[in-house]
Amino acid sequence: MAVYAVTGAASGMGKASADRLRAAGHRVIGIDLKDTEIVADLSTPQGRSEAVRATLDRADGRLDGAVLAAGLGPTPGKEKLIAQVNLLGVIDLLVGWRPALAAAGNSKVVVFGSNSATTTPGVPNSAVKAFLAGDTDKGVARAGRIPASGPAFTYAASKIAVTRWVRRTAVTPRWAGSGIRMNVLAPGAISTPLLDAQLESPLKRAVESFPVPVGGFGQAEQIAQWVEFMLSPAADFMAGSVVVVDGGTEAYFRPDDWPVRVPFRAIPGYLRKMRSFAR
């Protein structure tokens, strides 16, 4: 039996993941605004530190894994909350939990990104940069320069930033070198209360007309299977990867954008990184 912390455990994909892990015999410490083991508001510094402390208490300082699914969609008027929960609600918790993840010796982390990170055209780079620098207010202001696109840009920028944070962090000695395998799961349109809310908002037409080559929407239980897999020994040799599960939307829009060719001018940087790599 393993012990997993799951944020967003009261709804949608977080709940489906928690249910699946419990059904497999594991112990789940859920964190959400209600209806789970630890009730904490991840949009505030106090809520995040309380979530860290209460989780470590319940887990006795040792976590086999964590699933960071709490998040908000691109809801107008909630831009600040989007940044706080989608970004700081991941980073602050993981930084606080790192010693417990390292204590397990072989732990796994799954962070929920989104295919919005790579399918939303025009997200201001300055917003992503501000988020990565920890300045959520500035990031929200930059993402909101074109007011009509503010919620979509804030959402996408929060997911780009959290994905980049995972990729940069996962491969460092403090994480990969401490037996922690951290990766991103990037879903497309998945039937959950979050998507239902978008379908009842002015975004309805945009969501319905977004191309999904395999058709329809994904189901939370399908994503929960990917979460379980990414927490399993199958992920022992995986760090900083982004697994896109989106019915083909991302490939439809960007078939040739990945794999990205490495230009010759990158060679000096590669050599520097090779030399500084600590074995």
Q: Contact positions toward ligand NAI, by CB under 6 A?
A: 8, 10-14, 32-33, 41-43, 69-73, 85-86, 112, 114, 187, 189-190, 192-195
118: Cα separation from own chain's centroid: 14
Minimum Å gap between C-beta 160 and ligand NAI is: 12
DSSP string, 11-51: SHHHHHHHHHHHHTT-EEEEEESSSSSEE--TTSHHHHHHH
- Closer CB to ligand NAI, 155 or 175, in the complex: 155
Minimum Å gap between C-beta 144 and ligand NAI is: 18
Residues pairing with 186 in the sheet: 244
d(CA 251, CA 72): 24
Residue count (the chain): 279
Side-chain half-sphere CA neighbours of 62 within 13 A: 7
Minimum Å gap between C-beta 161 and ligand NAI is: 13
- Closer CB to ligand NAI, 47 or 104, in the complex: 47
184: nearest Cα among 158, 197, 165, 156: 165
Which helix (DSSP H) or strand (DSSP E) does residue 225 occupy?
Answer: helix 220-230
227: nearest Cα among 184, 166, 264: 184
Minimum Å gap between C-beta 265 and ligand NAI is: 34
Active site residue 155: yes
The radius of gyration of the chain from alpha carbons, rounded to an integer in Å, stands at 18
Kindly name the residue from 4, 155, 252, 270 that is annotated as catalytic: 155
Query: What angle is formed at CA 259 by the lines to CA 90 and CA 143, rounded to 5 degrees?
Result: 40
- Closer CB to ligand NAI, 15 or 98, in the complex: 15
Minimum Å gap between C-beta 162 and ligand NAI is: 9
Minimum Å gap between C-beta 71 and ligand NAI is: 2
- Closer CB to ligand NAI, 26 or 226, in the complex: 226
Q: Are 217 and 191 in contact (CB under 8 A)?
A: yes
Q: Are 44 and 38 in contact (CB under 8 A)?
A: no
d(CA 261, CA 214): 28
- Closer CB to ligand NAI, 43 or 107, in the complex: 43
- Closer CB to ligand NAI, 177 or 193, in the complex: 193
CA distances from 146 to 23, 95, 161, 267 (A): 46, 33, 19, 38
Catalytic positions, please?
Answer: 155
